[in-house]
A and B are shown apart, each in its own frame.
Chain A
Amino acid sequence: EAGVAQSPRYKIIEKRQSVAFWCNPISGHATLYWYQQILGQGPKLLIQFQNNGVVDDSQLPKDRFSAERLKGVDSTLKIQPAKLEDSAVYLCASSLSGSSVQYFGPGTRLTVT
């Protein structure tokens, strides 16, 4: 069974530029999560989707971050414009509907200079 796929694995941008991350969850997993993991900290949930609907986005900085999951499968997280403090690893995870067990992708390491 293929795992959660994410791309790119690494990205370096300058502040005020925009960036997008892509995630393809495990087939059949209705729930998709995006996390931000700053160095030395645990993952912080940014947004959670159930199929193509948003379950929670209370910790998403909506002035600069956006995410979509239009067809209920893969998802894109965008940052525009980026700030230095956005440097982090962005993790995508998925789970079966009704299950709390999450499967994580390898993450995208973002460096904002």
Chain B
Amino acid sequence: GDSVTQMEGPVTLSEEAFLTINCTYTATGYPSLFWYVQYPGEGLQLLLKATKADDKGSNKGFEATYRKETTSFHLEKGSVQVSDSAVYFCALEGGSYIPTFGRGTSLIVHP
């Protein structure tokens, strides 16, 4: 079945540091890929998405590129802020249209 593997957290960074959170997937067909974010005390919300190979999703300074050859969708940001502290979930929706989420990666940004 479909699966998503994320790097384990927590990821701890200083403000203005570069962020990468790795995500790889296994799926049949050509899934859509997503990053969701959960800020403290809030529900999950969509951060960005990509629906086909080589697409780049971007939002709020975050980017992720759909790499079919490496089955990856790594999340990056050039300069993180304290307000980016949250849990980030990589997810996919494949041909079965059943959403599959990773375990989540906690990001802690210090001033």
A-B contact count (CB 8 A): 54
B interface size (C-beta, 8 A): 23
Contact A42 B99 (CB under 8 A): no
Contact A100 B93 (CB under 8 A): yes
SS class, residues of chain A in contact with chain B = loop
A47 to chain B, nearest CB (A): 11
Question: B43 an interface residue at 8 Å Cβ cutoff?
Answer: yes
A49 to chain B, nearest CB (A): 12
Task: Say which one of A14-22, A76-84, A101-109 lies at the interface with B.
Answer: A101-109
A106 vs B42: C-alpha distance when bound (angstroms): 6
Question: B82 an interface residue at 8 Å Cβ cutoff?
Answer: no
Question: B4 an interface residue at 8 Å Cβ cutoff?
Answer: yes
Residues in A with CB closer than 8 Å to B89 are 42-43
Answer whether A102 and B46 are a contact pair too, CB < 8 Å, given A42-B4, A42-B89, A55-B97: yes
Q: Could you list which residues of chain B lie within 8 angstroms of chain A, going by C-beta atoms?
A: 4, 32, 34, 36, 42-46, 49, 51, 89, 91, 93, 96-104
The 5 closest A-B pairs by CB, nearest first: A42-B101, A104-B43, A104-B44, A100-B93, A106-B43
